Amino acid sequence: MSIMKLTATTAAIALTTTAAFARDNVQVAGSSTVLPYASIVAEVFGENFDFPTPVIESGGSSAGLKRFCEGVGENTIDIANASRAIRPAEVEACAAAGVTDIIEVRIGYDGIVFASDINGNAFEFTPEDWYKALAAEHFIDGELVPNTLSNWNEVNPDFPDQPIQAFIPGTKHGTREVFEEKVILAGCEDGGFFQAMLDAGVDEDTAEGTCMAIRTDGRSVDIDGDYTETLARIDADNNGIGVFGLSFYENNTNKLQVATMNGVVPTTESIAAGDYPVSRPLYFYIKAAHIGVIPGLKEFAEFFVSDEIAGPDGPLAEYGLVSDPELADVQETVADEVVMGSGT
**Residues whose CB is less than 8 angstroms from the CB of residue 226 and which lie 6 or more positions away in sequence, other chains included:** 32, 35, 58
Give the residue among 163, 155, 175, 109 at the shortest CA–CA distance from 330.
109
The answer to whether residues 66 and 121 belong to one domain is: no
Below-50 pLDDT ranges, the chain:
1-14, 16-21, 342-344
Question: How much is the pLDDT for 13?
Answer: 41
CA distance 286 to 292: 12
Question: How much is the pLDDT for 106?
Answer: 96
pLDDT single digits (tens) 244-261: 988 889 889 999 999 999
The answer to whether residues 232 and 309 belong to one domain is: no
Question: How much is the pLDDT for 11?
Answer: 39
CA distance 183 to 126: 8
The answer to whether residues 160 and 25 belong to one domain is: no
Question: Across the chain, what does the average pLDDT equal?
Answer: 90
Dihedral (C-alpha) 249, 255, 261, 264: value to the nearest 10 degrees? 80
CA distance 79 to 289: 11
The answer to whether residues 220 and 294 belong to one domain is: no
Q: Return the SS3 of 201.
A: coil
Phi, psi of 324, deg, nearest 5? -70, 125
Domain final position from 263, 279, 295: 279
Tell how strand 79-82 and strand 260-261 pair up: unpaired
The answer to whether residues 210 and 128 belong to one domain is: yes
Question: How much is the pLDDT for 210?
Answer: 96
CA distance 209 to 214: 10
pLDDT single digits (tens) 102-146: 999 999 998 899 999 999 999 999 999 999 999 999 999 899 999
The answer to whether residues 183 and 133 belong to one domain is: yes
CA distance 51 to 309: 18
The answer to whether residues 241 and 260 belong to one domain is: yes
The answer to whether residues 13 and 54 belong to one domain is: yes
The answer to whether residues 17 and 100 belong to one domain is: yes
CA distance 176 to 65: 15
CA 63 to chain centre: 12
In a domain, 82, yes or no: yes
Range of the domain at 24: 2-109+281-336
Distances (CA, A) of 21 to 25, 74, 293: 12, 9, 9
Amino acid, single-letter form, for residue 36: P
Question: How much is the pLDDT for 22?
Answer: 67
Cβ atoms 241, 231 nearer than 8 A: no
CATH number of the domain to which 264 belongs: 3.40.190.10
